Amino acid sequence: MTIRISIDCMGGDHGPAATVAAAVSFVKRTEDVQMILVGQELIIRSELKKLKADSQERISIVHASEIVTMEDSLEVALRRKKDSSMRLAINQVKDANADVCVSAGNTGALMAISRYVLKTLPNVDRPAICSILPNQKDKPTYMLDLGANVDCEPEHLRQFAIMGAALFSAVEGQDKPTIGLLNVGEEDIKGNDVVKKTAELLREEHAKGVLNFYGNVEGNDIFAGTTDIVVCDGFVGNVTLKAVEGLGRFVKTVLTHEFKRNWLTMLGALIAKSALTTIGKRLNPSRYNGGSLLGLRGLVIKSHGGADAYSFEWAIQRAYDAAKNGVINRIELAMAALVAAPEIAIESSPCELGSPEIS
Amino acid sequence: MTIRISIDCMGGDHGPAATVAAAVSFVKRTEDVQMILVGQELIIRSELKKLKADSQERISIVHASEIVTMEDSLEVALRRKKDSSMRLAINQVKDANADVCVSAGNTGALMAISRYVLKTLPNVDRPAICSILPNQKDKPTYMLDLGANVDCEPEHLRQFAIMGAALFSAVEGQDKPTIGLLNVGEEDIKGNDVVKKTAELLREEHAKGVLNFYGNVEGNDIFAGTTDIVVCDGFVGNVTLKAVEGLGRFVKTVLTHEFKRNWLTMLGALIAKSALTTIGKRLNPSRYNGGSLLGLRGLVIKSHGGADAYSFEWAIQRAYDAAKNGVINRIELAMAALVAAPEIAIESSPCELGSPEIS
């Protein structure tokens, strides 16, 4: 099965210089992929030419006259810029020309347009953003929501848990991943009302065998790899993700600065180069670039806005993997199973089902 | 002025082995300090003997027959264990035998007992926990609340900002520190209702010249050092702090593992030892151990539960600095100034002030 990926080439800090280069590199190393590059045609063509990829058959271009900027309000992005590269890239998924769309643009706009164009899946109240972080066990920790919802009800968090588990199962090929609820302590009595009620819902799902709920986890458990999935509201998730990114940059700055301080430290770094390379690889945030917008009737992957070509290519990889593993179907099935619980079945009695036709 | 510090010797994962050793080391290197070691007398005496400090005149012991454990509920810690080392250590501050108390015990219990024994300062609705994190500018970022309040109203966050600024000014000797409000984006429209309303309150204080409000900051700004102080609710603060601690441990594990992989990487590490030492120093979380419980009528410093002697000594240093710089007075004055705003002055008309005597 060939995976067709639409790229919003104009999004992100580096624009086409990063996005087109990443797309070309990915096409070169992947047989069964087609790219639809969406954005200003002349610029994209020029980038392709630079990369000697202007005659690559598996790359096509869709021209878009507008660009959603980081400063654009949702109103402007959604209502005024109907010919933006972001909008047209998402349209490719809606029109079934692409299996998945990747953008490094404005997160709020991407979520709003995706939701407007693609609509949410049945039984999903709110889409969420799920990203992957590395952990001590050398496995991925899936974390959601990372910013789509700054206010969440317990029911939303329950749905995030279901969707996260479906994504994990599809991509990692492991059933019943463990789910942790991000809290200020492990004990049941800890946390605010929303978290306590969410824990009750997740325990119910665990008892029914729908989810593998581990219980509360704390901030440090994200990197300890205590659970496969960490669920939280978008405010907490976004702040936490950016804080750890900030610490990562800080650590990198200190490492680089200290190793470059004098010839002795540079020599040490040179001799220990293999170690530093491995360290860089294990901790490189680029490898974890690409958040999935979950709960929509189509796949959309959000790259970090500051992604360079290397990092953006990882987001494309994430998109490819998600499409290849039928993530949307998995989520749709999981959400349907959730709703098909006994309580709901009773509510949907023949009488009630018939009522709309009567009125 | 001699600073008198009471130590809850039984708290923390390592108990007296860490706390007594830290106290002895601190007394040795600091002239104007007296220590009151609170806990099981026999154990403390034996630790002092091991450290050849049993005849140190500036160290005294207060025996406590009970210990608050990490598993104790607030009810048990507060109502049942009235002779706990934690309780008696805080009592030293209340009874003016000590200027500040340090404990590595159960955070919830420490806050509850401190609040019960010491009471909150006038005009403070809720105490908060403020800790220090390192930043890229090689300066401290003060962050609060880190877990005392899992649900906050905008008014609470305003008070946290005032208290954080007073602490910063007192300890760092810098007036009008900049204050950032932790949010999911810099723009005013970002965030949930609580954060948006808090921003309004802080802008008002800024306009009045009470606070130096920078605006919204994001997670990465904590380590970028964008502002001197970062204000958030205790849920977000606690999760974020623990997440960055978790990442720190992860990075350390990877560094250590990779440098110890073979003789070449070990040689490199050996040659670059000075760099690694500096890196360790700049990023060592021990240096930042010690959260201040702010808003109480007495100083209490919370050490990390996992602190070893070295790390616990930093919490003692924090306590010493806070007491030396009259933090309580500074906070009391700042909170009084906040309330003395014109709107409030009008409310306190002679008529109303007289009413209690009339009735």
- Per-residue pLDDT tens digits for B164-215: 999 999 999 999 999 999 999 888 888 999 999 999 999 999 999 999 999 9
Look up residue A282 and give its two tokens: 């294990």
B223, B238, B275: residue with CB nearest A259: B275
Distance from CA of A136 to the nearest CA of B (A): 6
> Which residues pair with residue B121 across a beta bridge?
none
For B23-70, the pLDDT digits (tens) are 999 999 999 999 999 999 999 999 999 999 999 999 999 999 999 998
What does CATH list as the number for A1-124+295-349? 3.40.718.10
A181 → chain B, closest CA residue: B239
Neighboring chain A residues of B182 at a CB cutoff of 8 Å: 239
Give the nearest chain A residue to B271 (CA atoms): A268
Tens digits of residue pLDDT in B103-136: 999 888 999 999 999 999 999 999 999 999 999 9
| Cβ atoms < 10 Å from Cβ of B289 | 26
A212: β partners: A178
Q: Answer whether B274 sits within 8 Å of A264, measured CB to CB.
A: yes
- Residue A14: count of CB within 10 angstroms of its CB: 18
Q: Identify each DSSP E strand in chain A by its residue range.
A: 3-8, 33-39, 59-63, 100-103, 128-134, 140-144, 178-182, 212-217, 229-231, 291-294, 299-302
Every domain of chain A and the residues it spans? 1-124+295-349, 134-144+151-286
CA distance to partner chain A, nearest, from residue B173 (Å): 25
B1-124+295-343 and B128-290: identical CATH topology: yes
Q: In the CATH hierarchy, which fold is given to the domain comprising A134-144+151-286?
A: Isopropylmalate Dehydrogenase (3.40.718)
Candidates B184, B226, B263: best to mutate against A (most CBs of A within 10 A) is: B184
Is A236 in contact with B239 (Cβ distance < 8 A)?
yes
Burial of B239-269, coded b for 16+ CB within 10 Å and e otherwise, reads: bbbbbbbbbbebbeebbeebbeeeeebeebb
Q: Please name which of A26, A166, A213, A175 lies closest in space to residue A102, comparing C-alpha atoms.
A: A26
Distance in angstroms (rounded) separating the CA atoms of residues A223 and A213 = 18
Please determine, for the modelled complex, whether the ipTM score is greater than 0.90: no
B313-351 pLDDT tens trace: 999 999 999 999 999 999 999 998 877 655 443 333 333
Q: What is the pLDDT confidence band of residue B354, given thresholds at 50, 70 and 90?
A: very low
* Contacts with A88 (C-beta within 8 Å, 6 or more apart), sequence order: A38, A62, A64
Q: Which CATH class is domain B128-290?
A: alpha beta
CATH of domain B1-124+295-343: 3.40.718.10
